[in-house]
């Protein structure tokens, strides 16, 4: 049972950036009839998303969020000893984007920097890695950066994914401080479900070729994509989420030793309104305690949790106990209970 407990490490500050370009989902495409688009959009509850301009990468959004974070909190760059970048839309296949960000952010050469290749559960996995490196070390400050340009990877002609995903970047400052107390993590993986959410071509199992670029009809509903596009089996993902996530939340709550009622906010990965509303109902949570951004930013994969904290909980997180839960591609799912004893949240940046 992969659970972890840490002491006296926490998120001191958070910042996030979203692209300026707003996509109104009803008007996103004329590829499908308007009434069909309306039906999909209403059901998934995603009315707007942000798309990065061509040439803008997830690292640019993270760089912007990091500059805001470092500036607002007057952080000396030489105090940053660790930089972790979470993304599945990095700048290059090599080198790792975290290394490029070390230089762009003018951090020292003795900074530890590496990438984590994870999707929707990534922020919680990332926190657990950074917490464990910080807890009993001499490392002074850590930056956990999390960025995605998911708008790029799905086919606009595949209605299963065309209306869901958006772009964003976030930056968290993590430090040791006795005020944070204990934090509790549960991390999980199930590779037997690798085919539920996938981008098949472009790696080394199925290298890109003229064949993988070809668009074709992939199902009885006439959806069109190539092997270079991502895809998602929505029904199976829904089944996975309702089966695994409530159980994992109960597990981490039990591990934390205090009841569900002690949690001030539940911050879920923002998948779509259908899944998120169902989770809220199944767990019988008070909607007031469950902030949501999916209607205005869509699904930004691993960024959706820190983005929701920045967008919805500015000034509300001090001395709070929060539960974070992410789930998706892999499949992986992860939950944690953490104290946000001191958590300064910067204004959301439009980039």
Binding site for other proteins (CB under 8 A): 39-40, 43, 159-160, 221, 233-236, 238-239, 242-243, 274, 278, 281-282
Q: Which is nearer to other proteins, 122 or 234 (CB)?
A: 234
Q: How far is the CB of 220 from other proteins (least distance, A)?
A: 9
Kindly state the smallest distance separating residue 121's Cβ from other proteins, in Å.
20
E strand or H helix that includes residue 255: helix 234-256
Cα separation, 300 vs 39, in Å, equals 21
Shortest reach from residue 230's CB to other proteins, in Å: 17
Helix (H) or strand (E) holding 39, with range, is helix 34-44
| CB nearer to other proteins: pick between 150 and 160 | 160
Cis peptide before 231 (omega within 30 of 0): no
Residue (129 or 237) nearer to other proteins, CB: 237
Structure tokens at 234: 């929505």
Residue 349 · residue 16 · CB < 8 Å: yes
**Minimum distance from CB of 37 to other proteins (Å)?**
12
Nearer of residues 190 and 262 to other proteins, judged by Cβ: 190
Residue 220 or residue 288: which is nearer to other proteins going by CB?
220
What is the phi/psi pair of residue 24, to 5°? Answer: -85, 115
Count other C-beta atoms under 10 Å from residue 2's C-beta. 10
**Strands of 87-204, DSSP E:** 112-116, 141-149, 167-176, 182-189, 197-199
Look at phi and psi of residue 276 and say left if phi exceeds 0, alpha if psi is from -120 to 50, else beta.
alpha
Q: Which is nearer to other proteins, 49 or 160 (CB)?
A: 160
**Rg of the chain's alpha carbons, rounded to an integer?**
19
């Amino acid at each position: 049972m992969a659970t972890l407990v840490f002491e006296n490490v926490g998120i001191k500050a958070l910042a996030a950036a979203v692209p300026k370009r707003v996509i109104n989902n009803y008007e996103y495409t004329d590829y499908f009839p308007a009434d069909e688009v309306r039906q999909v959009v209403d059901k998934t509850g995603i009315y707007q998303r942000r798309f990065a301009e061509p040439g803008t990468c997830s690292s640019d959004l993270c760089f912007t969020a990091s500059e805001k974070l470092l500036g607002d909190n007057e952080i000396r760059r030489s105090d940053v000893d660790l930089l972790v970048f979470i993304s599945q839309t990095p700048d290059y296949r090599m080198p790792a984007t975290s290394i490029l960000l070390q230089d762009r952010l003018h951090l020292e050469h003795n900074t530890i920097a590496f990438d984590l290749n994870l999707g929707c559960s990534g922020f919680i996995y990332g926190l657990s890695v950074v917490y464990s490196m910080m807890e009993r070390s001499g490392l002074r400050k850590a930056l956990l950066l999390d960025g995605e340009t998911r708008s790029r990877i799905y086919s606009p002609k595949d209605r299963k994914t065309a209306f869901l995903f958006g772009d964003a970047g976030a930056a968290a400052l993590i430090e040791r401080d006795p005020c944070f107390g204990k934090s509790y993590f549960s991390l999980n993986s199930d590779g037997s479900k690798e085919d539920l959410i996938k981008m098949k071509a472009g790696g080394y199992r199925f290298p890109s070729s003229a064949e993988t670029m070809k668009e074709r009809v992939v199902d009885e509903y006439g959806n069109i994509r190539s092997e270079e596009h991502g895809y998602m089996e929505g029904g199976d993902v829904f089944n996975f989420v309702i089966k695994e996530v409530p159980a994992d939340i109960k597990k981490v709550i039990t591990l934390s030793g205090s009841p569900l009622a002690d949690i001030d906010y539940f911050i879920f990965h923002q998948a779509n309104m259908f899944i998120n509303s169902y989770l809220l109902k199944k767990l019988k949570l008070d909607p007031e305690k469950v902030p949501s951004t999916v209607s205005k930013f869509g699904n930004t994969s691993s960024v959706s949790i820190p983005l929701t904290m920045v967008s919805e909980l500015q000034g509300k997180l001090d001395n709070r106990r929060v539960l974070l839960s992410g789930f998706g591609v892999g499949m992986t799912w992860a939950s944690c209970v953490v104290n946000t004893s001191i958590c300064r949240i910067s204004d959301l940046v439009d980039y």
